[in-house]
Amino acid sequence: MAKGTDLKRRIRSISSMLQVTRAMEMIASIKMKKAQDRALQSKHYVFESWQAILELSRLPENRDNLYLSEQEKGKILVLVIASDRGLAGSYNSDILRKVLQFTKDNGLENIDFIVMGEKAKNFIRKIGGNIIAEFPLGEQVRFTFVSPVALIAWEGYTKSEYKKFYSIHTHFDSAMRKNATTLQILPLIEPESIGEASTKESAEEIDFKFEPSKMEVLDTIIRQTVRALTYQIILESEAAEHASRMVAMKNASDAARDLKEDFEFTFNQVRQASITSELAEISAGAIAQE
């Protein structure tokens, strides 16, 4: 019965593993729901801010605004968001592949990185990238938390140290719809595509009144939108991480459950064969004594 004992030990081990994966799946599900709610709450604000800039940028005097047109000089600043831990399926590997492709297209020497998450930091260091700032990932991201990230990008772009500001993160639509993406944050809008992007009434036909001035109003809105967009990106990444971990743990639970059933079936076969063998021996002994 040595084989049966070994099978029982494996079944107990898988049962313990199944309890852990179920618990992790439940925790990730709860965290994902909370992160998803926060992401949806801020999404409306970001969209409305974007629309306001879209309208203002269509005015002729704003088409050459520093924050709406690409600069020729400077490096590229990239915010990379990954997780601190693994066990999240392909969440981190998809982000890191995007980073590799981005560095291949733009040249590693032309890029400075802001990183969030241990996985992102370790990978950028491994490929020899220049990290100018790193930020931890908290359990609950607040709007004030993203201010230093947006400030670094804003000041660097204003001083022409950077000609573009990108984020490489995971865009979140739902638990089953999420993908690693590269998003250009600055400049916010390309003037050539503005006319095609909006179907609303032309801003040139609207009589806007600005206080204190058009430039100050536009710059203030753009700066706030950069902060809000950065915040939205971090929230979506957080929700996507929890969703990926939830799916990964569900798959692990399903695989463990199937493996446990296979071992239990094998154990029952071994046990039945052992019982049959013992009955046969008892029957043979009884017949021999007659």
Could you tell me if residue 290 is inside a domain? no
* Same domain assignment for residues 202 and 272: no
Could you tell me if residue 289 is inside a domain? no
* Same domain assignment for residues 196 and 260: no
Could you tell me if residue 94 is inside a domain? yes
pLDDT in tens, 70-87: 778 899 999 999 999 888
DSSP β-bridge partners for residue 180: 170
Lowest mean pLDDT among 24-38, 181-195, 261-275: 181-195
Evaluate if residue 57 carries a pLDDT over 80: no
* Same domain assignment for residues 174 and 92: yes
CATH number at residue 132: 3.40.1380.10
Q: Which of 23, 34, 65, 3 is nearest to 214 (CA)?
A: 65
* Same domain assignment for residues 183 and 195: yes
Q: How far apart are CA 150 and CA 148, in angstroms?
A: 6
Domain extent, residue 52, equals 26-246
What angle in degrees, to the nearest 10, is found between the helix axes of 147-158 and 214-289?
130
Could you tell me if residue 168 is inside a domain? yes
* Same domain assignment for residues 47 and 97: yes
* Same domain assignment for residues 113 and 56: yes
Q: How confident is the model at residue 132 (pLDDT cuts 50, 70, 90)?
A: very high
pTM over 0.85: no
CATH number at residue 11: 1.10.287
Q: Which of 31, 64, 63, 83 is nearest to 239 (CA)?
A: 31
Give the chain's domain count: 2
Evaluate if residue 165 carries a pLDDT over 90: yes
* Same domain assignment for residues 217 and 173: yes
Evaluate if residue 193 carries a pLDDT over 50: no
Evaluate if residue 131 carries a pLDDT over 80: yes
pLDDT in tens, 15-33: 998 999 999 999 999 988 8
* Same domain assignment for residues 103 and 143: yes
Could you tell me if residue 234 is inside a domain? yes
Mean pLDDT in residue range 46-62: 73
* Same domain assignment for residues 63 and 132: yes
